[in-house]
């Protein structure tokens, strides 16, 4: 009975989730979280380039297509302070792009607030 309750609780939480299936890269340890194994098999994600511009954190993530066909994708950055708390105003819109077959692209963004010390980027398939 306890196992059934735990399963139902987990399903309820996942139903309320706002994240979509895709790939997530975390700046603190460059770990890649894969929520879509097909998409992950089609992309090569290299180590990010991080710098400061006018006191604001700037991140650039190189992405390369492993397939010959075009990939219609979206990405979004989230910004976090040194304690790992999300920085207010970090809810940027999803940005759409097309990654042509075997091509590379640098996904970039600059934090809006100087408190940002870390980031996470999400990449997902676009449905347009």
**pTM of the predicted protein model:** 0.76
| pLDDT classification of 3: cutoffs 50, 70, 90 | very low
Question: DSSP 3-state assignment of 41?
Answer: helix
Contact at 8 Å (CB) between 46 and 107? no
Question: What's the rounded Cα separation, in Å, for the pair 74 and 127?
Answer: 9
Domains and CATH numbers, the chain: 24-125 (2.60.40.3230)
User: pLDDT digit string (tens) for 39-91?
Assistant: 999 999 988 899 999 999 999 999 999 999 999 999 999 899 999 999 987 77
Average pLDDT, the chain: 82
């Amino acid at each position: 009975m306890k196992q059934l309750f735990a399963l139902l609780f987990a399903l309820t939480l996942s139903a309320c989730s706002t994240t979509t299936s895709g790939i997530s890269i975390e700046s603190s340890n460059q770990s890649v979280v894969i929520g879509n194994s097909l998409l992950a098999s089609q992309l090569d994600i290299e180590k990010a380039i991080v710098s400061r511009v006018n006191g604001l954190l700037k991140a650039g993530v190189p992405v390369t297509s492993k397939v010959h066909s075009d990939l219609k994708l979206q990405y979004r950055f989230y910004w976090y302070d040194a304690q790992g708390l999300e920085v207010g105003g970090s809810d940027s819109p999803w940005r759409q792009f097309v990654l042509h077959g075997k091509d590379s692209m640098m996904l970039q963004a600059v934090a809006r607030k100087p408190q940002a010390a870390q980031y996470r980027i999400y990449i997902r398939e676009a449905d347009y």
